[in-house]
Amino acid sequence: MRKWLRSRFTHNRWVFHTALFPILGGPMRGLRWSCVSGGKLLRVLRGTYEVKQTQLVWQALGAGDTFIDVGAHHGYYTMLASRAVGSNGMVMAFEPDPRNAFLLRGHVHANAL
């Protein structure tokens, strides 16, 4: 019974953390983000997360550029850069933590980046 309860809780927690929501504002509007971000989730979805840094990256990159994201975490700047450089650009993201890398891959896959 204990094993069954643990498996159900873990599964439900995974489903909750991997639910995707549309980003409603900012340069990443229309992309989808999971609710793993805790306190920053609403700011990401509204397009108000790290506004100055987001604007800096967005303005620095152009179509066809290359962006390398070392320590990409869940992929916020990976997704932003992908949108900025377009289909002719290249974004490389590196994340050493397996849990964060799993979520990073999920964001990239969910947004077909």
- pLDDT tens digit sequence for 61-77: 999 999 999 999 999 99
- Residue in the structure block whose two tokens are 């916020």: 76
Task: Report whether 20 contacts 79 (CB < 8 A).
Answer: no
User: Is the pLDDT confidence value at 6 over 90?
Assistant: no
Task: Report whether 32 contacts 111 (CB < 8 A).
Answer: yes
User: Is the pLDDT confidence value at 36 over 60?
Assistant: yes
Task: Report whether 66 contacts 89 (CB < 8 A).
Answer: yes
Half-sphere exposure for 43 (CA within 13 Å, toward CB): 10
Q: Tell me what pLDDT residue 16 has.
A: 47
